[in-house]
A and B are shown apart, each in its own frame.
Chain A
């Protein structure tokens, strides 16, 4: 366990006056929110998370899901509670998903990949249909959405990636007029896509 791991998501929760006013756990009890039942595990537990640890409840399938997630995000540590909720929801997105996730895990076990891109490339070559499953995993961890439902909002990794510059909508914590200051510069990335491109439809307002 990496108990000392700094967890900025918890900091964000504590630092936002608005968020403190609004009880996070209560929101999680809404029927539309899929982490119901795990709220009892407590927000504080978020400070001690790691992939494929006993917090997956010893469920070997969930442990494989966490291992896959870790590889595809290039992150050694991910919140297993979020992982459990994502896994359950992704399974509901189609009857073929369980077998596809298993095949994806087999491919990971059967090779050595230096990063997420290398693994994703190999997966699409082995079975083009698995691209959709990788999209599900990326959408789940980074957007916090699985099978068209919000699993987590503020804890989605897209906000972790951008937290030095911007707040998730409705969770601003910079005080009035923070927006006038110069945000960080961002260089053009050099990495290449791992998967073939897919159609992107902007959702209607």
Chain B
């Protein structure tokens, strides 16, 4: 018997991203013992910054983050893929990327920290589409604020710019001043359209905060902020460790063990990189392993007691896969120079299409004018056009100062046929199956994307744009959700409104996998708020037991 047989804690958490690490931090601070098992390695920022600078394809968000053989993640958004195998009519639209390493996928995110709208939690009741969540906006509001304080979110004063999600407290930091390019875009939209451009709430410092510096505008939020002015899950890991939580890297959980009644989880089992197996016991368990890996683990844990997988009496584990599908176009503005790429990457949004009565017919969306440094793009474009020498240099300046990129997040709906299963043909180095996902875009989302294309065409016209380059088809926005869907009825959902699995009383899930619908805007703040609510539930049960 190895000494590992003694691995035990009050709460055992699978996954060290924003969700897992923030729960660990809250519990450890309350004196509760915590073990966090992370499949990937412990990593450091500077290594990724070096990797980025040496990367030829600079827009590749996964490029600086190679995976390990024991914790593979998708290398890119290309179909077919070496890890995430997508199929179906819109396979390309579900080629998500994410990271399996300490701190999780927020190593590369743009820090966009949206609260959902109250209507996002009641889509069925209000618009007759999709489902309602098993909680309301007001249930989550205090935890949204807690998440904003944890991450350090800057945002506008609601009296000046109301983003539609009622607030009891102001944002922890003042809104980020937007770039000259964004100012000009905002002016155009205000003067020439019925719409508006708002300050995007961001987990990015507009003053020194939580021991991290003010943003210096390196324009590299994705794939890696070089100075840590933007929050990522790694900071919650550091705080949780300081509070006494134990994090074990390179620990690939492959089995969830239950008691003889199949009502309570008794342990999880993990492989180390050499496939040595270890057992970790606890009173409570939280799977916080990202939408795709969470569903994969539950399915992988199938046995005689639960032949369809753990927490899966409903048959809905792995189903209802959603995302914010994107429409994207890059073009050359015929107006004055904008020089996008001065400052952070995503700072401004057209938010008029986040909600409206038309949601009975088509999905909501929001639009980013991406503030991305276009010098490399301009150089490649000018070379391909045939310029050399001084003429090339003039073109680089012109194209870099006039290139505009627009993209959208378009709302999906939960469809049980959009389904994650375990690959029968591909396995990783430990013998664990890769994830397969079948995906067909809901018509609701297709109609939303068509509306977006119309809007983009209008905007290109208003900016006297040329050289339109539309990203073909529909592309994934890396916000997978729905694979362990929340609901009040155990027959058609996996977790309840507190993210507790219907089947196992001491098993919680903290991930976008519990989303009943996907709203608009980056999902991370909602993931964090739900996770902090799980921590609150666990604290109450453990401290008052």
Contact = CB atoms under 8 A, between A and B. Distances in A.
Contact of A18 (B58, B177, B216, B336): B216
Contacts of B371: 179
A72 interface: yes
Contacts of B339: 165-166, 183-184
B179 A189 contact: no
Given A161-B393, A205-B60, 11 more contacts: A18-B226, A27-B54, A135-B383, A149-B56, A154-B53, A168-B373, A180-B179, A187-B398, A191-B387, A202-B469, A204-B76
Contacts, number: 214
Contacts of B381: 200
Interface residues of B, number: 70
B397 A162 contact: yes
B469 A134 contact: no
Contacts of B375: 158-159, 162, 166, 168
Q: Is the interface of A mostly helix, strand, loop or mixed?
A: loop
A115 B77 contact: no
A3 interface: no
B398 A172 contact: no
Given A158-B379, A203-B57, A22 B398 contact: no
A171 B337 CA distance: 22
28 contacts: A27-B50, A27-B53, A74-B389, A115-B390, A116-B388, A116-B392, A117-B389, A117-B390, A117-B391, A120-B389, A138-B392, A143-B380, A159-B375, A162-B396, A167-B217, A168-B375, A169-B219, A170-B53, A170-B226, A175-B216, A176-B206, A180-B343, A183-B339, A183-B401, A184-B339, A186-B398, A189-B398, A191-B387
Nearest to B337: A186
A170 B52 contact: yes
Given A176-B215, A179-B179, A166 B392 contact: no
Contact of A204 (B60, B215, B394): B60
B164 interface: no
Given A27-B50, A181-B180, A185-B336, A120 B396 contact: no
B219 A158 contact: no
Nearest to A116: B389
A85 to B, nearest CB: 13
A203 B60 contact: yes
Nearest to B55: A150
A197 B384 contact: yes
Contact of B56 (A116, A148, A161, A194): A148
A30 B47 CA distance: 11
Contacts of B471: 202
A179 to B, nearest CB: 3
B94 interface: no
Interface in B415-430: none
B46 A117 contact: no
Interface string B200-233: 0000001000000011111110001011000000
Contacts of A32: 54
A184 B339 CA distance: 8
Contacts of B226: 18, 170
Given A161-B396, A191-B395, A178 B379 contact: no
B49, B224, B339, B377 pick with most chain A CB within 10 angstroms: B339
A184 B337 contact: yes
B178 interface: yes
Interface residues of A, number: 70
A149 B336 CA distance: 34
A171 B393 CA distance: 21
Interface in A42-76: 71-74
Contacts of A175: 216
B402 interface: yes
Contacts of A167: 217-219, 342, 373
Interface string B102-128: 000000000000000000000000000
A180 B376 contact: no
Contacts of A205: 59-61, 76-77, 97
Given A115-B390, A191-B390, A200-B384, A169 B218 contact: yes
A139 to B, nearest CB: 6
Contacts of A139: 380, 383
Nearest to A184: B337
B400 interface: yes
B301 to A, nearest CB: 33
Across the A-B interface, give the 5 residue pairs with the lowest CB-CB distance, nearest first: A116-B389, A179-B343, A191-B391, A193-B386, A195-B386
Contacts of B214: 176
B330 interface: yes
B53, B77, B177, B381 pick with most chain A CB within 10 angstroms: B53
A172 B215 CA distance: 10
A180 B373 contact: no
A143 B57 CA distance: 11
A41 interface: no
A203 B218 contact: no
A197 B383 contact: no
Contacts of B395: 189, 191
A33 B220 CA distance: 20
B183 interface: yes
B343, B373, B376, B381 pick with most chain A CB within 10 angstroms: B376
Nearest to A191: B391
Contact of B53 (A153, A159, A184, A194): A153
A179 B388 contact: no
A8 interface: no
B61, B97, B178, B380 pick with most chain A CB within 10 angstroms: B380
B192 interface: no
B466 to A, nearest CB: 11
B501 to A, nearest CB: 34
A165 B386 contact: no
Contacts of B337: 183-186
B206, B383, B390 pick with most chain A CB within 10 angstroms: B383
